[in-house]
Structure 1
């Protein structure tokens, strides 16, 4: 068997997706997710100009060798564009191998380690009352875990909170929009949100929150201590983690569980965090971290150090990436939780999926491969639309972490 053709499919059913399709001489094909939010065309160019020419005539069943070829052979290792492109190839290769075997992908990884995959939803509102109503809506749908984000008094717009009641999509303009941020207003307010959630929903609901890299280590330590009475499932992305040792200071001051990693691309981005047990959940995704092949290495390192997975799964992960992630989640022994943001109706018309949700848990399905496919005819009718992520400034105008 060999790869004889490949194509990159760019579509925009309300937001941009990059899908790679690899085709073999035996007619079996696989697809992978190469979506990098706000930088999609960089991955398209990387795939079309540099990766695809190297794949023609290669044996698609040599997944490890191809992964090493694309990673080591590039010389310029790592980075979000490279690792997202590699991930797209890796997902497509695993899809092919599982289809040839006639098995769902999780069986090739070693079989399932659980009966269902717990996911968390996103509840947001302009104020506490509206956020609580959204939490109630997801609880009624069966979710056992909910991430809560709320508008902050005195701040015009807040991460995670949609405008005009529309579904939240941060890449909202052709050029980056600008938001204003106040750390002190946020720190003074957000513990009241968690208290309100516990007062209304009790102690059994898993409650998560995303800081989105906006605090310094000592500020994150303060928030972690303030949150301890509300026993959150986790605080996510407390600080930018380029300096992994920053988490030591947070860890010294709070027992609130910590999660980080959705912007990580390689095992080296989280090596210290995991080996020193500075976090509790690693949030890398198969789409942005070199695919299933590389995620397995990260998960194995994490398992040695009492760290569980909590993979990124916002709408910038296409249904292809979500399908692959769910097969990975079904297998990985140190699973923690999976993020889930529902895609819009048009997206679910574009992609056919085998995964399903029931009572707070997903299962990936049992079709051979990862169970997700794309309608290329419909994709051609949904052309790319330039969209950038916002930038953030403090109230004095200083550029800050978005």
Structure 2
């Protein structure tokens, strides 16, 4: 069996997705997600111009060798564009291998380590009462874990807060601008966790995303203030480039820390993991080199008491979500899986067999990943340029988004 063809499909059923579809000379196909939010066409070009020509004629069963070929064979390594392209190939090849074997991918990864994948939903509000209403809706649906985000008084349009049914921060072709106040944020956030714990008790697992907005000492202060509310994790408290910062944060708080959704490789995470400076690694299949490479990251994490918490927002297609669930189900050190349901339009473009039930996601039992792309349906939603926002402080200084 050989790879006969491969093509990139870019579509926008409510938001942009980049999908790679590989076909063998025996008619077996596999799909991989290559979406990089706000930079989709860069990955599409990398795949079309550089990767696909090198795939034709290769043995699709040689997944590890193909990964090394695409990684080591490019002098300019790593980075989100390269690693998202490699991830798409890797994921598609796992899909093909599962179909050839007649098994779901998680069986090829060692089989089940658990019965279901615990997921967390996104509760948010523009006030404490609206936040509590949002949390209640997730609890009623059976969620056992919820991410908590709310707008501090006087701040609007900040990350993670939306009244729309489907949250999508990427909008206009030119980035929109938002205003951020760290003092207002630090003063407000502990109060929302106090309110949620008072309303829902100690058993509901709670997380919070800082989104890289703080300095190390500010993050330490926040972590300490949140200790009474027993968070499962505090996510991305400082910019991911500042790995030394996590040593300082660790000195001041026992609130668990999570980081990694912008990481692309095991080298991005190795110090944080090996020195136990974090508690959860949030790298994801599409941005960290596919199932093959993310499994390496997770295996390293398992040696150092670090659990997984893969990114799973709607900027990842159902192809990536399905791949993540197969990996989540198999690994021994799974923690939590982020889950934001896609729109009906997206689900129609990407028919899939995974399902939500009583707080858990369950991957498909079909051979392979159990997901595909309906190319005729995808053609109804052409690409539209969309960029993520930027943030400025109140005096106009650029800040981290």
SS of equivalent to 1:251: helix
In structure 1, the residue matched to 2:259 is: 260
1:73 aligns with 2:96: no
Give the distance between the partners of 2:126 and 2:172, measured in 1 at CA. 21
Where does residue 11 of structure 2 map in the other structure?
Answer: 11
1:38 is aligned to 38
SS at match of 2:226: helix
- Residue 394 (str. 1) matches residue 393 (str. 2): yes
Partner of 1:338: 337
* Alignment RMSD: 0.7
Structure 2 counterpart of 1:115: 115
* C-alpha separation in 1, matches of 2:340 and 2:239: 23
Q: 1: CA distance between counterparts of 2:103 and 2:51?
A: 27
Question: For the Cα contact (< 8 Å) 1:356–1:362, is it kept in 2?
Answer: yes
What does 1:3-402 align with in structure 2 at a 5 Å threshold?
A: 3-162=3-162, 165-402=164-401
Q: CA deviation at 1:157?
A: 2.1
Q: Structure 1 CA distance, aligned partners of 2:158 and 2:206? A: 19
Task: Give distance in 1, aligned partners of 2:36 and 2:112.
Answer: 29
TM-score, L = length of structure 1: 0.99
For the residue of structure 2 that corresponds to 1:184, the secondary structure is helix
Deviations 1:362-388 (A, max 9, x none): 110210000001110011111001000
Q: Is the 8 A contact 1:105 1:327 kept in 2?
A: yes
CA contact (8 A) 1:245 1:272 kept: no
Q: Offset of 1:166 from its aligned partner?
A: 4.8
- Alignment coverage as a number of residue pairs: 401
Secondary structure of the residue aligned to 2:32 is: strand
SS of the residue 1:15 aligns to: coil
Looking at structure 1, the residues matched to 108 and 371 of structure 2 have their Cα atoms a distance apart, in angstroms, of: 17
SS at match of 2:167: coil
Residue aligned with 1:334, SS: coil
- 1:352 is paired with a residue of what secondary structure? coil
The one-character-per-residue Cα deviations of 1:11-58 (angstroms, maximum 9, x if unpaired) are 100000001000000000100000000000000000000000000000
The answer to whether the 8 Å contact 1:212/1:238 transfers is: yes
Once the two structures are TM-superposed, the CA of residue 125 in structure 1 deviates from its matched residue by 1.0
In 1, the alpha carbon distance for the partners of 2:156 and 2:296 equals 42
Structure 1, unaligned stretches of length 5 or more?
none
SS in 2 for 1:362: strand
CA distance in 1, matches of 2:243, 2:188: 27
The answer as to whether partners of 1:120 and 1:338 remain within 8 angstroms in 2 is yes
Distance in 2 of aligned mates of 1:57 and 1:397: 54
Which whole-Å CA distance do the structure 2 matches of 1:353 and 1:298 have between them? 26
Q: What secondary structure sits across from 1:374 in the alignment?
A: coil
Q: Distance in 1 between matches of 2:318 and 2:89?
A: 16
| CA–CA distance in structure 2, aligned partners of residues 2 and 296 of structure 1 | 25
Separation in 2 of the partners of 1:241 and 1:277? 15
Once the two structures are superposed, residues 277-330 of structure 1 have per-residue CA deviations (whole angstroms, 9 ceiling, x without a partner) of 000000000010000000011011101100000000000110000000000000
Distance 2:114 2:367 in 1: 19
Say which SS state the counterpart of residue 35 (structure 2) adopts.
coil
2-side partners of 1:236 and 1:157: how far apart?
A: 20
Q: SS state of the match for residue 270, structure 1?
A: helix
On the 8 A contact 2:166/2:342 being kept in 1, the answer is no
Q: Is the Cα contact below 8 Å between 2:298 and 2:308 reproduced in 1?
A: yes
- Taking structure 2 as the reference length, what is the TM-score of the superposition? 0.99
Q: How far is the alpha carbon of 1:171 from its aligned partner?
A: 0.3
Contact 1:235 1:256 in 2 (8 A): yes
Give the Cα separation in 1 of the matches to 2:240 and 2:18.
Answer: 27
